[in-house]
Amino acid sequence: MTFDRWTRKYLHRLLFGQFLKTAAEWLGAFLLSFGTIVLLVKLTIPSMWPHVLWLGLAAIPVAIGAWKFSMRDAFTKGESVAYLDQKLKAGGLLMSLSEAPDEEWARKLPQMESQWSQSLPKFYPVRFAKTVGIPLLFCIACGFVPLREIPLLEELAQESVAEANVEDLKAIMEQLEEEQILEEEEKEQIAQEIEQLLEEKNQPLTHEKWETVDALRQKMQMRIDQSTMSMAKAASAAETLSQAGDLDNLTEEQIKQLTEQLSSGLQRLSEKGNPGSKTAGTLSPEMQERLKQMMANGQLSLPKDPAERQKLLNELKEALQQESQRLVELRQKCQNGQCPGGQCEGNQMGQGNKLANGNKPGKGGVNRGRGDADLNYGHETDEQGIKFKETVLPKGYLDDPSEEVLRVTFSPPEVDVADSAPKSAARKSDASTGQATWNRKLSPKHRGVVKEYFNSGE
Amino acid sequence: MSTSETSSPTPSGSLLSETQVSTASELIGKLRDGLGKAILGQDELLDQVVICLLARGHMLLEGLPGLGKTELVKSLSTLLGLGFRRIQFTPDLLPSDILGSPILEDSGDGQRKLVFHKGPIFANLVLADEINRASPKTQAALLEAMQERRATVMGDSHELPKPFFVLATQNPIELEGTYPLPEAQLDRFTFKIDVYGVSPETLQEIITTRRAGEPPKLETALSAVQLEDLFHLTDKVHLPVAVSNYIARLVTSTHPDRETSPEHIRKFVKFGASPRAAIALAATSRASALLNSKPNVGFEDVKRVAKSVLSHRIILDYSARLEGWTPPKVVESLLESVKEVGREVPEDLSV
């Protein structure tokens, strides 16, 4: 029958519409899942990112599955014919002819092809677009999410940081022992603390441990600083004495002070007990002999001959500077080279901290805070032993610059409470009211407040 | 066209031929024209009467007095040339007054025996006038007659003549001293048709053309054989599967306990229509199609007869009456709710 072709077409369109309904739901779910997977992979395992795109091919089996699912309860031919019959207003004749074909009655059906074609359902996939649109946009948006950058040593365990710090401390401790900077009691105490940290190195690193490590490091740095300062002062004293020639330009007291500083430095050298090694090796035999004598007598005796004395002092200065330089290097090593030139004295960053990106101000972690940031006052000096540069303060002035004698009285002058009140806001004088308050001398920054207070009632 | 031609058998599973349909239309047209002469300005009512007749169904006409209900039935009997009896239902009417009763008679040889004397029910067309005025016992006497088309008196069953129709009338007012028909009785009426008044133009025509309201004299339009042929042709009108599915869903949807039923049905309907309603709906839809010269039933045929078939079979709740819902209104709403095809077209298609 001629209408069979159109009923088939109608049925196919209905089936496709049914497929679109299921496909929209399935594809929407697939796109949401795919987008989520892409997002997770990009944020957690970026290395898998290119491979995830292959999952997009799963859209094909999803579409096939949607087709199969929609066909489980597909439109029947009878239903499609019923719809077509209604559309053509055939009054049930088309339905009847599809069940009981009759050529005679078939002629009563519309004969124009256009009538049949206009009766076919039109595709209007608004629902499909609505259902798939948002998941698709989500999927595209997930595609634009940048890959997460993995920190270089993110996976470094906390325990290794602790271990590295303690090992670092231990190495510094050994060097300090070699230099004999620490006193015996102090050395034992630090060694005990380090030993305890080493025992607990496999346990989680707590803020108490961090503070212990910092305290130990700071203590050792302080000792190095003291020794460095002593050496520097001694070298400076030696230089001053050397430049003074026959010492005529210097007073007795100055010579005494310089000699004490020099002897103090040399005493530290002698206390090391190894004048024959390293630093002591740079001194002449005569100087070594003098140092031994000084150790024996407890004071330094400089040669009377200016030339000889100058030569000795130069030699001492050079040795002390070398020792000072060695201590500076040791200090830098203690600071792990993070603060050259002593610009960040309070910084005790070690290897572990560096790995943990904690060497930046404000990034010391929740347990360390801003204490790691540089403290710059703006007037620091590079001179040894002096923190700040000398600054000339502005000249002072009196309230009454004229300083004129107003009058001479026979009795003590009457003091105006308001005039004699201190200039700070926290007055210690009696409270005053009215004009007395107004007349009281207030600093300009407080006057506005007082005026506003009294005018507030208007 | 001869009677034999109209009654020629139609191959099973095939549609009626155009000739058969046109012959049927011609015969129906005669009947319809005759009724139109007797009852003026009630075209839809007359169509419904013809449809019910072709479906071999019983009919209950409800309307105010003087609207021509009785005249309609009388005209129908004249046009069909069938045996006609009228029973005026009153409260003191007894079942035996309808069915008949055995009477002791002398057989002539000195013997006496009970001889059954047929009542007025033994006619082709029975007019049960003001049926709700009789007692329920008398009303119940019609139950077997209407369904089984036979009457049982004192254990003896007596077949009723074929065809057999009960055309009943009842008055919706003057309810004092009446006995509303029970649901079982109502269910046996294929159609319940509300008869309304006519337009002023029709009234004018009535008073100008008919003196003392007497209807024109009618002649027989259809013989009994022709009527029987029409019944056969009506049975052979094709009922497509989709339409029968629609009828089934329509009747099922009248039940409030169904999840697929519309909201107002679940809320207002107490009892839905019986399977007899579905059978009546299919039969009257076929008759409606034949009346429209069609070899098959369409959805619109079902819709045309649905109100007359279903409205008296749906029992409403009291809340429905409070909300102003009537059975015909419920059926109208049902026809809007239940779609012709059981499944919606996908949203991505525009039909």
- Inform me whether the pLDDT recorded for B153 exceeds 70: yes
A275 — pLDDT class (breaks 50, 70, 90): very low
Please give the Cα distance from A139 to A32 (Å, whole number): 7
Q: Which residue has the tokens 């005493």?
A: A267
Residue with tokens 């290097």: A329
C-beta atoms of A79 and B342 within 8 A: yes
Q: How far apart are CA B221 and CA B26, in angstroms?
A: 11
A90 and A188 part of one domain: no
**Lowest-pLDDT range, A301-315, A416-430, B134-148?**
A416-430
Coil, strand or helix at B309: helix
Amino acid at A410: F
Contact A30, A59 (CB under 8 A): yes
Assess if residue B109 is contained within a domain.
Answer: yes
Which of residues A343, A373, A403 is at a domain's end? A373
Task: Quote the CA–CA distance of A208 and A192 in Å, as a whole number.
Answer: 16
B341 touches chain A (CB under 8 A): yes
pLDDT value, residue B297:
93
Per-residue model confidence (pLDDT) at position A87: 87
Chain B residues whose CB is inside 8 A of the A86 CB are: 299, 340-341
Inter-chain residue contact A95 with B296, CB threshold 8 Å: yes
What's chain B's average pLDDT?
86
Kindly state whether residues B177 and B57 are assigned to the same domain: yes
- Give CA separation, B153 vs A330, B93, B100, B113, B192, in Å: 134, 16, 8, 15, 28
What is the predicted pLDDT for the residue at A350?
40
Higher pLDDT, A148 or A300: A148
Structural domain including B300 reads 237-338
Task: Please give the pLDDT value at position B141.
Answer: 84
Rounded-to-10 torsion of CA A113, A116, A117, A118: 120
In the prediction, which pLDDT does A160 show? 64
pLDDT band at A346 (very low <50, low <70, confident <90, very high): very low
Nearest CA in chain B to A107: B18
Does the residue B57 lie in any domain? yes
What is chain A's percent helix, strand, coil content, to nearest 5? 65, 0, 35
Please state, in angstroms and as integers, the Cα–Cα distance from residue B339 to each residue in A83, A298, B15, B345, following that order: 11, 120, 26, 11
Residue A297: pLDDT band with limits 50, 70, 90: low
Predicted local confidence at residue A239, as pLDDT: 79
Q: Is the pLDDT of residue A360 over 70?
A: no
C-alpha span between B171 and B178 (Å, rounded): 10
Task: State whether residue B167 is helix, strand or coil.
Answer: strand
Q: Tell me the CATH number at B255.
A: 1.10.8.80
Residues B23-70 have pLDDT tens digits of 999 999 989 988 888 888 888 899 999 999 999 999 999 888 888 887
Query: Using the beta-carbon criterion (under 8 Å), do A92 and B299 form an inter-chain contact?
Result: yes
Asked if B115 has any chain A CB less than 8 Å from its own CB, the reply is no
pLDDT band at B251 (very low <50, low <70, confident <90, very high): very high
CB-CB under 8 Å, B350 with A100: no
B339 shares contact with chain A (CB less than 8 Å): no
Q: Does B344 touch chain A (CB under 8 A)?
A: no
Euclidean distance between CA atoms B2 and B14, whole angstroms: 22
Given a cut of 60, is residue B180 above it in pLDDT? Answer: yes
pLDDT in tens, A193-239: 888 877 777 676 677 777 887 888 888 888 888 888 888 778 887 77
Q: From residue B7, how far is each of A159, B4, B227, B236, B289 by CA, in Å?
A: 105, 5, 10, 11, 18
Q: In whole angstroms, what is the distance from residue B158 CA to residue B151 CA?
A: 5
Say yes or no for a CB contact (<8 Å) between A126 and B348.
yes
| pLDDT band per the 50, 70, 90 thresholds, residue A382 | confident
Residue B281: name the closest of B301, B260, B262 by CA. B301
The band of A329, judged by pLDDT with boundaries at 50, 70 and 90, is confident
Domain span at A368: 156-373
Query: Both B56 and B154 in a single domain?
Result: yes
pLDDT bracket for residue A355 (50, 70, 90): very low
Q: Do B163 and B57 belong together in one domain? A: yes
Point out the residue among B14, B242, B346 whose CB comes nearest to the CB of A95: B242
Does A160 lie in the same domain as A139?
no
Confidence of residue A343 (pLDDT cuts 50, 70, 90): very low
**Interface A:B, Cβ pairs < 8 A:** 104
Q: Judge whether A94 lies within some domain.
A: yes
**For residues A268 and A230, is the Cβ–Cβ distance under 8 A?**
yes
Confidence check: pLDDT of A422 > 80: no
| A194 and A50 assigned to the same domain | no
Task: From chain A, pick out residues whose CB is under 8 angstroms from the CB of B288.
Answer: none
Q: Is residue A29 one of the residues assigned to a domain? A: yes
User: Which chain B residues in 199-258 lie under 8 Å from chain A, judged by CB atoms?
Assistant: 238, 240-243
Domain final position from A122, A144, A166: A144
Q: Is B179 found in the same domain as B80?
A: yes
Residue A303 within a domain: yes
Q: How far apart are CA A200 and CA A207, in angstroms?
A: 13
pLDDT at residue A347, as a whole number: 40
Which carries the bigger pLDDT value, residue A299 or residue A451? Answer: A451
Sign of the alpha-carbon dihedral angle for A185, A188, A192, A198: positive
Return the structure tokens found at B166: 């009960």
Q: Range with the lowest mean pLDDT among B131-140, B169-178, B248-257? A: B169-178
pLDDT above 60: residue B129: yes
Contact A100 B348 (CB under 8 A): no
Q: Are B241 and B297 in contact (CB under 8 A)?
A: no
What confidence score (pLDDT) does residue B273 get? 92
Residue A78 placed within a domain: yes
- For A253-277, what is the mean pLDDT? 68
Nearest-neighbour CA in chain B from A53: distance (Å): 30
Phi, psi of A388 (to 5 degrees): -115, 155
B11 versus B157: the higher-pLDDT residue is B157
Assess if residue B273 is contained within a domain.
yes
Q: A87, A98, A105, A108: which to substitute to probe chain B, counting the most B Cβ within 10 Å? A: A105
pLDDT of residue A156 exceeding 60, the answer is no
- Asked if the model's pLDDT at residue A281 lies above 80, the reply is no
Looking at the fold, whether A128 and A223 belong to one and the same domain comes out as no
Contact between B242 and A18 using a beta-carbon 8 Å cutoff: no
Instruction: Report the distance separating Cα B68 and Cα B53, nearest Å.
Output: 18
Vertex A297, ends A285 and A273: CA angle to 5°?
A: 55
Q: What is the DSSP string of B210-272?
A: -GGGPPPP------HHHHHHHHHHHHHSB--HHHHHHHHHHHHTT-TT-TTS-HHHHHHEEE-
A191 and A103 together in one domain: no
| CA B186 to each of CA B17, B59, B72, B191, B271: distance values in angstroms, whole numbers, following the listed order | 36, 10, 20, 9, 13
| pLDDT value at residue A256 | 76
- The per-residue pLDDT for A344 is 43
Task: Give the pLDDT confidence score for residue B343 in this predicted structure.
Answer: 84
- Whether A23 and A102 map to the same domain: the answer is yes
Average pLDDT over all residues of chain A: 74
Half-sphere CA count of A326, side-chain side, radius 13 A: 16
**pLDDT, tens only, A362-379:** 555 555 555 555 666 667
Asked if residue B76 is part of any domain, the answer here is: yes
Q: pLDDT for B221-249, tens place per residue?
A: 888 888 899 999 999 999 999 999 999 99
Q: Are B100 and B122 in contact (CB under 8 A)?
A: yes
Number of domains making up chain A: 2
> Among B315, B247, B307, B312, which Cα is nearest to B275's?
B247
CB contact under 8 A, B18 and A104: yes
Q: Are A83 and B345 inside 8 Å of each other by CB?
A: yes
**CA-nearest residue of chain A to B289?**
A91
Q: What pLDDT score was predicted for residue B2?
A: 40
Residue B18 falls inside a structural domain = no
Question: In this structure, are B181 and B298 located in the same domain?
Answer: no
Q: Is B190 part of any domain?
A: yes
- The mean pLDDT value for A161-180 works out to 77
Residue A395 to residue A239: CA distance in whole angstroms: 36
**B176 plus B93 within the same structural domain:** yes
Domain annotation covers residue B21: no
Enter the DSSP assignment of A200: T
Same domain assignment for residues A184 and A83: no
Same domain (yes/no): B249, B148: no
Interface predicted TM-score of the whole assembly (ipTM), two decimals? 0.82
Q: Which residue, of A110, A144, A178, is where some domain finishes?
A: A144
Map B206-222 to HEC letters: HHHHCHHHCCCCCCCCC
- What CATH number corresponds to the domain at position B150? 3.40.50.300
Q: Which two tokens stand for residue A387?
A: 């923190």
Q: Model confidence over B258-312: pLDDT tens digits?
A: 888 888 888 899 999 999 999 999 999 999 999 999 999 999 999 999 999 999 9
Whats the size of chain B, residue-wise? 351
From the list A17, A102, A125, the residue facing B14 with the nearest CB is A102
Contact B341 A105 (CB under 8 A): no
> How long is chain A?
458
* Percent of chain B predicted with pLDDT > 70: 95
At A88-138, the pLDDT tens digits run 888 888 998 888 888 888 888 888 878 888 888 888 888 899 999 999 999
Residues A115 and A188 in one domain: no
CB B265 within 8 A of CB B310: no
- Give me the torsion for CA of A122, A126, A132, A136, rounded to 10°: 110
Looking at the structure, do residues A53 and A111 belong to the same domain, yes or no?
A: yes
Q: How many Å separate Cα A410 from the centre of its chain?
A: 72
In three-state secondary structure terms, A90 is coil
The rounded percent of chain A whose pLDDT value lies above 70 is 69
Residue B301 lies in a domain: yes
pLDDT bin (cut points 50, 70, 90) of residue A316 is: confident
In 3D space, the residue among A83, B251, B240 whose CA is nearest the CA of residue B260 turns out to be B251
Q: What total of structural domains would you count in chain B?
A: 2
A403 in a domain, yes or no?
Answer: no
Chain A residue numbers with beta carbons less than 8 Å from the beta carbon of B15 are 96-97, 100, 102, 105
Whether residue A291 sits in one domain with residue A168:
yes
A313 shares a domain with A219:
yes
| Closest to A326 (Cα-Cα) out of A375, A284, A268, A370 | A268
Which residue did the predictor score with more confidence, A117 or A296? A117
| Test mutation, B14, B296, B304, chain A, max A CBs within 10 A | B296
pLDDT at residue A372, as a whole number = 56
Nearest-Cα distance to chain A for B165, in Å, is 30
Q: Is residue A430 part of a domain?
A: no
Whether residue A185 sits in one domain with residue A266: yes
Of A75, A92, A104, the CB nearest to B240: A92
pLDDT tens track for A49-78: 888 888 889 999 999 999 999 898 888 888
- Kindly state whether residues B206 and B248 are assigned to the same domain: no
Closest Cα in chain A to B292:
A91
User: Which residues of chain B does A123 touch, with a Cβ-Cβ cutoff of 8 Å?
Assistant: 348-350
Same domain, B104 and B182: yes
A151-165, B13-27, B124-138, B269-283: lowest mean pLDDT where? A151-165
